[in-house]
Structure 1
Amino acid sequence: MYLVFGALLGTLGGLFGIGGGLIAIPLLGVLFGLDQQIAQGTALVMVVPNVMLALWRYHQRNRIERQHALPLAIMGFCFAWLGSIWAVGIDARTMRIGFVAFLIALSAYNFVRMFASRTTAASQMNYSWPWLGVLGAASGTMGGLFGVGGAVVATPVLTSLFGTSQVVAQGLSLALALPSTGVTLLTYAVHHQVNWGIGLPLAVGGLMSISWGVKVAHALPERLLRGLFCGFLVFCAVTLAFKV
């Protein structure tokens, strides 16, 4: 069952460039009754290898520029560590309420963007360093706190403010997510907030399917991909709200 569950999450993770953790966390809490921090730590066992493979697949299809990825990754790593230390000391119910609020805010932002005037992706990024570092710090903090790698924060900001296409934004977000999810998983594991018996088969299932999700992402129209991403966030928020 965990393998099948992991395969489904891996497909979604490849499709949206987020590693699958965002939907794994509410479902682990609702279906398996895990506390919020343990759900986040367990999801990260699957997310880290998924992000690694998805990042490679995105880079193969649409080259990720090193000068853009490095400031995101370095700042994301540092601030994800701080966010994860903060997360393990928070009450589980308070953390769950905060996570739902985070998803609702993110859903609302993406929903507004769906109806905003459409802008053409720029051939060159609108901003570079130090603004990419600022984005990496903010996304890393949220990723460390909520165990989602920061990609869900960085992707809409990269498309709306930095002028990238959706697939380029998702690739850069994965570059940000890889080091931040790694250090976040380590912090959660040290504080015994990981269920390895669930996390490892989820990871195997995810690795079996994430490449297919990346392939689908590159085949879909830009607007449809953004719409699916927005609906995905709303679904996660509603699912977890029933557990609060």
Structure 2
Amino acid sequence: MPWQIMEALLLGAGLGALGGLLGIGGGILAIPVLVMLYGMNQALAQGTALVMMTPNVLIGFWRYRQRNPFPLRTAALIGLASIISTYPAAQLAVGMNASLLRQCFAVFLLLLAAYFAFDQYLRRTATRTPWPEQLLPLVGVIGGLFAGLFSVGAGIVAAPILVKGFGKKQAVAQGLALALVVPGALVALWSYGHAGHINWWLGLPMAIGGISTVSWGVAWAHRLPERRLRIIFALMLIATAILMLLQAR
């Protein structure tokens, strides 16, 4: 129906703007929205969110590399390593009990919220000696696990590791994290689609809406103080996790 397509476009536009503002591609916001508003089970929501998220992270990767150039070889190394763990993790997710998967996702959100809430303390205790570059593929493997299990979160997990472990600048770390997300998202999208856990009629209009606003969200992110963004993000994660835990009961 035309009104349903318009609703999906507007929803994708809103999620794309928020995803650009918070630097998360919109997927981690789309999943609970799809569960709560459309009554989807966790696996179907994750697969549908991937349809919207994949083009958003492609655009984000391109824009980050424009502003903060980094070697494509390094990005490719991390991205290819993520495929090793993304596929088996996605296969595990699509076969998992929907209620259990939702509970795991909610716990994951709470852990992310705790990290962002206490990031200032973590910065003071960060590793001083950078880890060797040979260990960079491990970042891809770790991120791939989250991409496969939850379809989101790989970049959020990878960026702090790259900053605190490998001494990368925040902007470079976020760009490299998106390089990890892109191949992982494509593999996870194929896995969820093959298992029939995607609502394409909803996901595609959401993707179009997200593409139209993600750059606008990124522009606003550069105007607001980073500390305020982290607090907003942490509060959003906590609220989302609580709602999903209540639904999983």
Verify same fold: TM over 0.5: yes
Q: Does 1:113 align with 2:122?
A: no
Structure 2 residue aligned with 1:161: 165
Q: Does 1:29 align with 2:35?
A: yes
Question: How does 1:77-88 map onto structure 2 within 5 Å?
Answer: 77-88=83-94
Q: Which one of the candidate residues 92, 95, 101 is aligned to 1:95?
A: 101
Change (3 A) 1:136 1:87: same
Q: Does 1:195 align with 2:199?
A: yes
1:30 CA displacement: 1.0
Do the aligned partners of 1:106 and 1:233 also contact (CA within 8 Å) in 2? Answer: yes
Structure 1 residue aligned with 2:56: 50
1:63 CA displacement: 1.6
Structure 2 residue aligned with 1:176: 180
Taking the aligned partners of 1:179 and 1:99, their CA distance within structure 2 comes to 21
Taking the aligned partners of 1:242 and 1:228, their CA distance within structure 2 comes to 22
Residue 91 of structure 1 aligns with an amino acid whose one-letter code is N
Do the aligned partners of 2:113 and 2:234 also contact (CA within 8 Å) in 1? Answer: yes
Residue 3 of structure 1 aligns with an amino acid whose one-letter code is L
TM-score by length of 1: 0.90
After the TM superposition, list the runs of 4 or more consecutive aligned residues in structure 1 that deviate by more than 6 angstroms.
Answer: none
1:228 CA displacement: 3.5
Structure 2 residue aligned with 1:127: 131
Taking the aligned partners of 1:64 and 1:225, their CA distance within structure 2 comes to 25
Do the aligned partners of 1:149 and 1:181 also contact (CA within 8 Å) in 2? Answer: no
Do the aligned partners of 1:87 and 1:144 also contact (CA within 8 Å) in 2? Answer: yes
Q: Deviations over 1:35-61 (max 9, x none)?
A: 000000000000111111111111112
Change (3 A) 1:3 1:240: same
Residue 88 of structure 1 aligns with an amino acid whose one-letter code is V
Do the aligned partners of 1:21 and 1:44 also contact (CA within 8 Å) in 2? Answer: yes
Kindly tell me the number of residue pairs found equivalent between the two proteins.
242
Q: Deviations over 1:196-235 (max 9, x none)?
A: 1110110000000011122223333343343343333323
Do the aligned partners of 1:9 and 1:24 also contact (CA within 8 Å) in 2? Answer: yes
Structure 2 residue aligned with 1:227: 231
Gaps of 5+ in 2: 1-6
1:117 CA displacement: 4.9
1:69 CA displacement: 1.7
Of stretches 186-195 and 74-83 in structure 1, the one that deviates more from structure 2 is 74-83
Residue 225 of structure 2 aligns with an amino acid whose one-letter code is P
Do the aligned partners of 1:17 and 1:171 also contact (CA within 8 Å) in 2? Answer: no
Residue 65 of structure 2 aligns with an amino acid whose one-letter code is H
Structure 2 residue aligned with 1:217: 221
Change (3 A) 1:61 1:178: same
TM-score by length of 2: 0.88
1:119 CA displacement: 8.1
